[in-house]
Chains A and B, each alone.
Chain A
């Protein structure tokens, strides 16, 4: 079986490393983008669409919410689950993200169990 692919979109390099490491432990091969626009370029340049994208909220150039809206306008990405991973912990943000098409929402700081639990909710637990 092919290794599942995940895209980590966060403007913090440290956070990308942490998330990438956690996802590797959960059986994913990861790709990184520093903002929503970079992530879209990555997706457009690759025929292999990841099954999961972890999306930060506050990022330069294109923030997480705009990325979610852009991705959900495209039919080709319907199979990609979008998990918002953010320090924005207000219900209003959560509702906005879910309404825009996010599948789940994880608040920073979080534990590895919490990330695994979200993947399980999304039916994406591989390891």
Chain B
């Protein structure tokens, strides 16, 4: 495997920052070498330096896009945070359903859905725990900047490693179909999730609704403070006044983010506008 020249790693860091606001640390060149390996084989006979140079000098955006997508962290799995599941089932949903019982609408946004396990987990929680929502107008929007991740998310097809992590066997048996060596989310669940390509640091679609719940988990930690605040202010304007914002288990929000932390006993912590 070729070693990345410092100037090429610097180009790559700039590219990641410009395209998706992600700041690669100085000492993570080895990660780039691992993540860009197959793309380099496809375009530049395995030469990662030549790949970065080609992407930077290409007039079109295609290779740059592929490079950024290959570098992005796609770590996700079904029902990732058990405390979130509890707070969703015991606190957020029952409260929201009380408050929305007249218009019977619910809008949920998984704002960095990666390969789709998060929005499908939400759809499964709704299906299993809130059958009364069948008569409601429920919209789950799932977005990511990566075409590759969205394509996989939309297919709803997962391999053995992904199925083994976080997904209870009962739900797997009930809501997935086996296709050769993969499993696919059954259409009735798949149809509940609407996928869109949204880059959080670029303009968002005007048609995005006001949301009751926004999941922005394990994303902000890769952004600079300025970009975090920019994204949070946009999330605030997209969130209903009594809505909820969910971050990753190890994430915290700064003061003046537009949100206040709420500790809901054993249900863990989430954020509300204010």
Contacts and interface: CB of A to CB of B under 8 A. Distances in A.
Contacts, number: 44
Interface in B166-197: 166, 168-170, 172-173, 176-178, 181
Interface string A54-92: 000000000000000000000000000000000001110
Nearest to B178: A91
Given A90-B178, A91-B178, A120-B82, A106 B173 contact: no
Interface stretch (B15-23, B129-137, B157-165): B157-165
A102 B170 CA distance: 10
Interface residues of A, number: 21
Interface of B: 77, 82, 160-161, 163-166, 168-170, 172-173, 176-178, 181
Contacts of B170: 98
Interface in A99-127: 102, 104-107, 109-111, 113-114, 117-118, 120-121
B165 A114 contact: yes
Given A90-B178, A91-B176, A110 B164 contact: yes
B185 to A, nearest CB: 13
Contact of A105 (B165, B169, B176, B177): B169
B82 A114 contact: no
16 contacts: A91-B172, A91-B176, A94-B172, A94-B173, A95-B173, A98-B173, A104-B168, A105-B169, A105-B172, A110-B164, A111-B165, A114-B164, A114-B165, A117-B77, A121-B166, A121-B168
Interface of A: 89-91, 94-95, 97-98, 102, 104-107, 109-111, 113-114, 117-118, 120-121
A106 B164 CA distance: 6
Contacts of A90: 178
Given A109-B160, A121-B168, 13 more contacts: A89-B160, A90-B178, A91-B173, A91-B176, A94-B172, A94-B173, A95-B173, A98-B169, A98-B170, A104-B168, A104-B169, A105-B169, A118-B164
Contacts of B160: 89, 107, 109-110
A25 B181 CA distance: 30
B169 A114 contact: no
A24 B165 CA distance: 20
Which one of A94, A102, A114 has the greatest number of beta carbons of chain B within 10 Å? A114
A66 to B, nearest CB: 19
Contact of A117 (B165, B176, B177, B181): B165
A107 B160 CA distance: 7
